[in-house]
Amino acid sequence: MNPRFTIEATDGAARLGRLHTAHGELQTPAFMPVGTYGTVKAMTPEELEGLGAQIILGNTFHLLLRPGPRVIAAHGGLHGFMHWQRPILTDSGGFQVFSLKSLRRLSEEGVRFRSPVDGSEVRLTPEDSMDMQLALRSDIAMALDDCTEHPASEGAARASMERSMRWAERSHRHYYATEPPGGLFGIVQGGMHPALRLASLEALLRLDWPGLAVGGLAVGETEEERLGILEGLVPHMPAQRPRYLMGVGRPEDIVAAVLRGIDMFDCVMPTRHARNGHLFTATGVINIRNSAHQDDTGPVDPGCECYTCRNYSRAYLRHLDRCNEILGARLNTIHNLHFYLALMRALREAIRAGTLTAWARDFLAARRAADAVA
Amino acid sequence: MNPRFTIEATDGAARLGRLHTAHGELQTPAFMPVGTYGTVKAMTPEELEGLGAQIILGNTFHLLLRPGPRVIAAHGGLHGFMHWQRPILTDSGGFQVFSLKSLRRLSEEGVRFRSPVDGSEVRLTPEDSMDMQLALRSDIAMALDDCTEHPASEGAARASMERSMRWAERSHRHYYATEPPGGLFGIVQGGMHPALRLASLEALLRLDWPGLAVGGLAVGETEEERLGILEGLVPHMPAQRPRYLMGVGRPEDIVAAVLRGIDMFDCVMPTRHARNGHLFTATGVINIRNSAHQDDTGPVDPGCECYTCRNYSRAYLRHLDRCNEILGARLNTIHNLHFYLALMRALREAIRAGTLTAWARDFLAARRAADAVA
């Protein structure tokens, strides 16, 4: 079924919404933990649910290479394969293919690349991406796009964006050719050029999408560039559709984007940071590997109510990290995902209460103060 | 407090017992998962409890090197450090030191070795081992012994055993010099020489121990050698004390030893095998890395009730293993520990019912049949 979006409250440009999918509904603004290989690294589905994860993201590129569509289809799709019963969004695979750079060959048809797993040649066209996402039976699929390089001249960004729009149309036609298990989101491209962004949006809106994403950000641009693009684009996006900012980001980036009307986010930061010993706290990010934590019997964040902070000390987490223990990656991931998902709950509560502006000002001021100290 | 042992039922030489410690009691025969660095690899304490783990083993050698006694003492001991509230047994560190071979220097005082972590010289005397185990505040501590090489001539085995007995006396004196948090087990040595084993037992029994262990087995001897030693030794061990067979072993080894009157076991096999993709089933060990499991949507063991078998397929576990995903190590560990802990429950039930002989005959026959097929 196509996801349906309802808006329950607004506060400035920010929206409190509810997205209904074949695997239940989720409240927005929402953060999607990333489950690259059919697992949000180190977590069970029950743990993710306990942390308040409403939806996760699966990576089409990685799952295409391993284990491939046949194995997942034999389990009835990605939900059954990985034992996750809530909604799943899958990306198109485009972003990962384009990051292969020299290993890929691009044409109007699509992209061909050497598998980093076994060296075989793999083809990814818009139709291939749709077929894979249909095999995964995700609740939200993404159109295949040509990921514009950064920085890109206006000419290069326009050519790339226009190809993305042709691919978006092919994606849409192929995805909806039969009764799909979910809905397909289109992706606005156009690099750092506001006029191209609006042209991309206009092109997309010739078709009906249950949601729209902003791609091509979180690629190395400055915060000013990113916010400038959002401020020029988001007010023109259909109000009644969810808006997904792909690959963003730091907690402060998420807050800034919610203030500008974004509803959905994904980022590897909380999970990847966790495995590298970087833990989010109310007063900034700490590196648990630092020797300052060696004898610290206190929790990562005294105000945090996560399982890790309720039961384990900084000294223990540092010890696990030094010994490369799996439990360390687990406990750190629990903490960081709790931080992100609690942030999303706080944002939703502030929108409902109509206090988002003041809440965000305090939050961002505390982050800047913490960064100034760190 | 010194652990107290009560026997509730016997079936031949096998005993159903209850060991009371400062952190609660456990039923025997018992298997102790190994928590080398203050974590049973990949598991939380809550998961271990859910699997039925009643007691775990901590490694003095590893914890001495990382994080060292000061950090653990600051947490009130190993229980508080690792958030495990049930009983803990700690080994003496001797076994690991002796496996360093060329990096160690042995004298009557004790042993000195180069830390594999940072190259510094470390000393481990019986008194050092007791101090470390007292800092860990384990419920059961082990005397430091000189681990006899295998194979060893009778002369070499005798000299080694006699040193172990002198160290056992020093361990006992030092451990009980103040009010200890737990009790100290002595360790019978003597290599593969039955007369030396009896001499070692006789020497130990000059002191009062709340339990006795059989050391120096699971070192490469044949099954016949091991069972021969147990059959010559165990009937002479005090009936009213728990008997711990160190480092054993495969499921069939545990069953054979329970039949001969052993009460406690530890082994890294279920957890280490899990991380290597070797999974125990009723019909033998499978290697989840085998391509035969690539498309298998069924569970590891259809008769198994563990979380892994209830929710995940062999194909998914193989995929996680191939991708080196942390969740794979977790799910495999859950399955293997469930297998071992369910085995111990079955053994206890059979002893209580007086049906151990028949139960063990069927179990061992099924294992031999599975091995013949594998």
pLDDT tens digits for A292-304? 999 999 999 999 9
Instruction: Name the token pair of B272.
Output: 């280490």
* Nearest-neighbour CA in chain B from A334: distance (Å): 12
A42, A67, A70: residue with CB nearest B319: A67
**A319 contact B CB<8A:** yes
Q: Is A371 a catalytic residue?
A: no
How many helices (DSSP H) and strands (DSSP E) are in chain A?
A: 15, 17
Q: What is the pLDDT of residue B26?
A: 98
Question: Are A71 and B329 a contacting pair at CB < 8 A?
Answer: no
Give the pLDDT confidence score for residue A98 in this predicted structure: 86
pLDDT at A113: 94
Judging contacts by C-beta atoms under 8 Å, the chain B residues touching residue A311 are 83
A70 touches chain B (CB under 8 A): yes
Name the residue with tokens 């700490």. A286
Q: What is the mean pLDDT of chain A?
A: 96
B43 contacts A327? CB cut-off 8 A: yes
Interchain CB distance below 8 Å, A326 and B326: yes
- Any chain B CB within 8 A of the CB of A85? no
CB nearest B325 (choices: A39, A297, A330): A39
Q: Which of A79, A115, A319, A322 is the best mutation test for B, with the most CBs of B within 10 A?
A: A319
Mind listing the pLDDT tens digit for each residue in A145-201? 999 999 999 999 999 999 999 999 999 999 999 999 999 999 999 999 999 999 999
Cβ contacts of residue B258 below 8 Å, gap of 6+?
Answer: B14, B29, B347, B351, B356, B360
Least CB–CB distance from A67: residue in B37, B315, B326: B315
Is the minimum CB–CB distance between B278 and chain A shorter than 8 Å? no
Give the DSSP letter of residue A247: T
Q: Over the stretch B159-169, which tens digit does the pLDDT of each residue have?
A: 999 999 999 99
> Does any CB of chain B come closer than 8 Å to the CB of residue A231?
no
CB contact under 8 A, B316 and A38: yes
Judged by a CB distance cut-off of 8 A, whether residue B118 touches chain A is no
Instruction: Say whether residue B136 is in contact with chain A using an 8 A CB cutoff.
Output: no
Instruction: Give the pLDDT confidence score for residue A373 in this predicted structure.
Output: 58
Q: Are B344 and B252 in contact (CB under 8 A)?
A: no
Nearest CA in chain A to B76: A297
Cα dihedral sign, B60-B62-B64-B67: negative
Mean pLDDT of the A297-317 span = 98
User: Which residue from B215, B217, B150, B147 is spatially nearest to B185, judged by alpha carbons?
Assistant: B215
| Percent of chain A predicted with pLDDT > 70 | 99
- The model's pLDDT over B80-93, given as tens digits with 9 standing for 90+, comes to 999 999 999 999 99
pLDDT at B107 over 60: yes
**Alpha-carbon distance values, B56 to A23, B86, B117, B251, B268 (Å):** 40, 8, 24, 18, 11
Residues 27-46 in B contacting A (C-alpha not used; CB under 8 Å):
37-39, 41-44
Q: Which of A48, A59, A83, A327 to mutate to test the interface with B (most CBs of B within 10 A)?
A: A327
SS3 A274: helix
With bands split at pLDDT 50, 70 and 90, how would you rate the model's confidence at B101?
A: confident
pLDDT confidence bin for B134, thresholds 50/70/90 = very high
Distance CA A108, CA A94 (A): 14
Tokens (6 digits) for A129: 């991406």
Complex ipTM > 0.95: yes
Nearest to B77, CA basis, from A322, A332, A313: A313
Among candidate residues A91, A139, A145, A263, the one labeled active-site is A91
Residues B45-65 have a mean pLDDT of 97
For the cut 90, the answer to whether the pLDDT of residue B112 exceeds it is yes
Q: A323 at the B interface (CB within 8 A)? A: yes
pLDDT tens column, B219-234:
999 999 999 999 999 9
B73 touches chain A (CB under 8 A): no
Residues 97-116 of A with CB under 8 A from B: none
Q: How many CB atoms lie within 10 A of CB B158?
A: 20
Name every chain B residue with its beta carbon within 8 A of the beta carbon of A274: none
The 10s digit of each residue's pLDDT in A330-345 is 999 999 999 999 999 9
Euclidean distance between CA atoms B270 and B3, whole angstroms = 26
Mean pLDDT of B32-46: 98
Cα atoms in the 13 Å half-sphere on the side-chain side of B339 = 28
Average pLDDT over residues B114-130: 95
Sign for the pseudo-dihedral over CA of B10, B14, B19, B24:
negative
Q: pLDDT digits over A46-91, tens only?
A: 999 999 999 999 999 999 999 999 999 999 999 999 999 999 999 9
Q: One-letter amino acid identity for A88?
A: I
Nearest residue, CB atoms, B81 vs list A38, A316, A329: A316
User: Per the CB < 8 Å rule, is A319 touching B75?
Assistant: no
Q: Going by C-beta distance under 8 Å and a sequence separation of 6 or more, which residues neighbour residue A107? A: none
Whether B311 has its CB under 8 Å from any CB of chain A: the answer is yes
In terms of CA atoms, which chain A residue is nearest residue B333? A326
Give the residue-averaged pLDDT of A265-293. Answer: 96
A83 at interface of B, judged by CB pairs closer than 8 A: yes
Q: Identify the band that residue B366 occupies on the pLDDT scale cut at 50, 70 and 90.
A: confident
Active site residue A91: yes
Instruction: Give the pLDDT of residue A227.
Output: 98
Tell me the pTM: 0.98
Q: CB–CB of A75 and B39 under 8 A? A: no
Tell if the CB–CB gap between A75 and B322 is shorter than 8 Å.
Answer: no
What is the C-alpha separation between B268 and A8, in angstroms, rounded?
54
pLDDT for the residue numbered B98:
86
